[in-house]
Amino acid sequence: MVELSSFLENIKQEGIVAGFVPRIASVAGSLDKDAALDALRDEHESALNEAGFSWDQLYRAEQVHGNQLAIVPDGGAARLLPEVDGLLTAEPNVVLGIYVADCGLIWLVDSKTGALGLLHSGKKGTEGNILGEAVKKMERAFGTCPADLVGVLGPCIRPPHYEMDFAAAIRKQAREAGIGSFEDCGLCTGSDLETYYSYRMEKGKTGRMLGFIGRKTSP
């Protein structure tokens, strides 16, 4: 199912579809990543279909816990972009997707140009300020003014379940980058294993939540 939490409402502007697929009760939290993604594929594909997109429109980041970004489509046929943790686009009818199980998932919308971003910001990505890097890349690539950006930080692990409060660091980075509106949902993955997967609390054997965003044009 697609989580219709209020924390995504601010970025659901005209034509923009943003979603978050939480824990799927039928998929155990005792799998390694590849097995979990295989088991979750049908549910995640159904969520995209429900949102009006197809799996063939989905672009995903390899997620290597860095601060590198890719603009999609990049001219190639790849749907899994290597060695990046963030995806940016100004194109309609493509979907950006990021998997998380404790790390920070950040949605970005340029309210003027319609450009979009989706970032994976865990411990290392936050230390590398992937959010600040994304804002700068959107400025260069799409003419984005930071003040026009609307951002949301989704559910992630927080103290006392994790020693680093990277959510606080991300909020600070959003202010420093000049993002016009930034909301932290405040939800902790480690505190609610009925709703979320948590890599740390489940000792690395767990599923992944899917965050996605895209902009649809009228038929």
Question: What is the structure's pLDDT at 63?
Answer: 96
Give the distance, in angstroms, between the CA of residue 85 and the centroid of all CA atoms in the same chain. Answer: 9
* Residue 112 belongs to a domain: yes
Indicate whether this model's pTM tops 0.85.
yes
**Angle, CA 145 vertex, CA 143 and CA 147 arms, to 5°:** 165
- DSSP classification of residue 75: S
Count the neighbouring beta carbons within 10 Å of the beta carbon of residue 67: 22
* Residue 155 belongs to a domain: yes
Q: Phi, psi at residue 2, to the nearest 5°? A: -95, 130
Question: What is the structure's pLDDT at 140?
Answer: 98
In tens, the pLDDT along 38-62 reads 999 999 999 999 999 999 999 999 9
- Amino acid identity of residue 183, one-letter, is E
* Residue 219 belongs to a domain: no
Q: Which two tokens stand for residue 74?
A: 């990049």
- Looking at the structure of the chain, the number of domains it has is 1
* Residue 32 belongs to a domain: yes
Question: What is the structure's pLDDT at 219?
Answer: 56
Question: What is the structure's pLDDT at 27?
Answer: 86
User: Which residue stretches of 61-180 are H helix?
Assistant: 123-127, 130-142, 166-177
Count the neighbouring beta carbons within 10 Å of the beta carbon of residue 186: 11
The domain spanning residue 140 has which CATH number? 3.60.140.10
Which pLDDT tens digits describe the chain residue by residue (219 residues)?
344 467 898 888 889 999 999 999 888 778 888 999 999 999 999 999 999 999 999 999 999 999 999 999 976 677 999 999 999 999 999 999 999 999 999 999 999 999 999 999 999 999 999 999 999 999 999 999 999 999 999 999 999 999 999 999 999 999 999 999 999 999 999 999 999 999 999 999 999 999 999 999 865
Q: Which residue has the tokens 């103290």?
A: 159
Q: Which two tokens stand for residue 203?
A: 């000792």
* Residue 1 belongs to a domain: no
- Enclosing domain of residue 26: 6-214
* Residue 71 belongs to a domain: yes
Question: What is the structure's pLDDT at 28?
Answer: 78
C-alpha radius of gyration, the chain, whole number? 16
* Residue 172 belongs to a domain: yes
